[in-house]
Amino acid sequence: MKFRREWSIPWRALMLLSLCVNVVLFTYVSVQWLRPGGFRAGAGVPLRMIERVAERLPAEDAEILWSIYRGKEAELAPLQAEYRLALMKAMKTAAQTNLDKAELEAAVKDARDKRVKIGDLVVSTFVEMLERISAKGRRQLVGGYFR
């Protein structure tokens, strides 16, 4: 019995330490998430799309995609900033005590229109990429859909 008690003390300490680390991590993530400006809805979405597509391409075709994207980043950044501001306006409108339906609809429409502009730029990036990459790269992107 004495052996069992001595053996369990380090495990209890490790469990307590693990619990403390988890609480600290949870607190940090929560503070980052809830902090004003900490969560930027839509931020980085085009970049993640480009990353996912680039992973499916041969290296030389992925570099073509990245060069096209880098050329359009300067145009994309202000569109994303405008979208974030419009989205925040819609969220603030929705949070008002006395909800004005017309104001909310206008704010949501404005945010959607700005999001569509971002989508159009991303689509033009992909169309330009498809014109320039190899046939092998295009086949890899569509997978087995059209064989």
pLDDT greater than 60 at residue 68: yes
Express each pLDDT in 74-85 by its tens digit.
999 999 999 999
Average pLDDT score over residue span 87-105: 90
Cα–Cα distances in angstroms (integers) from residue 63 to residues 40, 75, 76, 115, 127, in the given order: 28, 19, 19, 26, 15
Average pLDDT score over residue span 44-61: 88
What pLDDT, on a 0 to 100 scale, did the predictor assign at position 37? 52
Higher per-residue pLDDT: 21 or 31: 21
Cβ atoms of 68 and 128 closer than 8 Å:
yes
Residue with the two structure tokens 């989205």: 87
Tokens for 120?
A: 């159009």
Average pLDDT score over residue span 94-114: 91
Whole-number Å distance between alpha carbons of 80 and 45: 10
What pLDDT, on a 0 to 100 scale, did the predictor assign at position 107? 92
Q: Name the CA dihedral angle for 136, 139, 140, 141, rounded to a multiple of 10 degrees.
A: 130
Determine which helix (DSSP H) or strand (DSSP E) holds 57, and give its type and residue range. none
What pLDDT, on a 0 to 100 scale, did the predictor assign at position 113? 92
Average pLDDT score over residue span 91-112: 90
